[in-house]
Amino acid sequence: MKHSSTAIAQLLLEAGAVVLSPDRPFRFASGILSPIYCDNRLLLAQVSARRTITEAMCQQISDELLNTEVIAGTATAGVPWAAWVAHELSLPMAYVRSGAKKYGRGQQVEGGVQANQRVVVIEDLISTGGSSLDAVAGLRQINALVADCFAIFTYEMEESKQRFNAAGVRLMTLTNLSTLLDVAAQQNYIRAEHRSLISDWASDPAGWADRAGISAE
């Protein structure tokens, strides 16, 4: 069954995985204020939602990435999704830490990925793209072939687009900020005038609060 980008956006809103709050922005660990917060970890406890997400990922990977040999999740957020997708597609699964272990065999990649195997990296959320591209770099260090990253949702930050392009990695997502804002406005999750305010955040998150006249207090 095909799951449209619009349907996935609606699922995220209904599940509470994405919350929009332009009047009372969230503060990220970096200190940046944001009118949107995505926590796809909430989907792990919702059986129907996670089944839909897994089916949609499997469908798109089967349709567009026919030569995939290994599904690799980013630790920790991408690990459960990678496991479910790999199981459904009958493919080997691996996961990639943010860095190599300081003990034991000192590995960053777990799961026995071999040189020249075609690997798809699975992430739950794309913000700046840093964790996903760190995983790509770790896989490439062991000579795996990585050209694609797959995620549930992307904030569509300009920074992430530039970083994926520079790394030669195609980013594929089930849905994105633009689609989610369309759904949110149509279904009264936000007022119409807030759509452009939230969309503007993705172009320059660090400067958004000043541009929008929102206090850091």
CATH number at residue 129: 3.40.50.2020
Could you report the per-residue pLDDT of 186-203, keeping only the tens digit for each?
A: 999 998 889 999 999 999
Binding residue positions: 97, 101, 123-131
If one counts the domains in the chain, the total is 1
How far apart (Å, rounded) are the C-alpha atoms in residues 151 and 162? Answer: 17
pLDDT band at residue 19 using 50, 70 and 90 as cut-offs: very high
Binding residue positions for orotate: 127
Task: Give mean pLDDT, residues 20-39.
Answer: 92
Task: Give mean pLDDT, residues 49-54.
Answer: 98
Binding residue positions for 5-phospho-alpha-D-ribose 1-diphosphate: 97, 101, 123-131
Residue 216 lies in a domain: no
Q: Mean pLDDT of all residues in the chain?
A: 93
For residue 148, the cross-strand partners are 120, 170
Segments forming the whole domain that contains residue 99: 5-211
Which is more confidently placed, 213 or 177? 177
Residue 217 lies in a domain: no
Across 18-32, 74-88, 119-133, least confident range: 18-32
| Best CA proximity match to 120, nearest among 138, 105, 109, 136 | 136
Tell me the longest C-alpha to C-alpha distance in the chain: 54
Residue 129 lies in a domain: yes
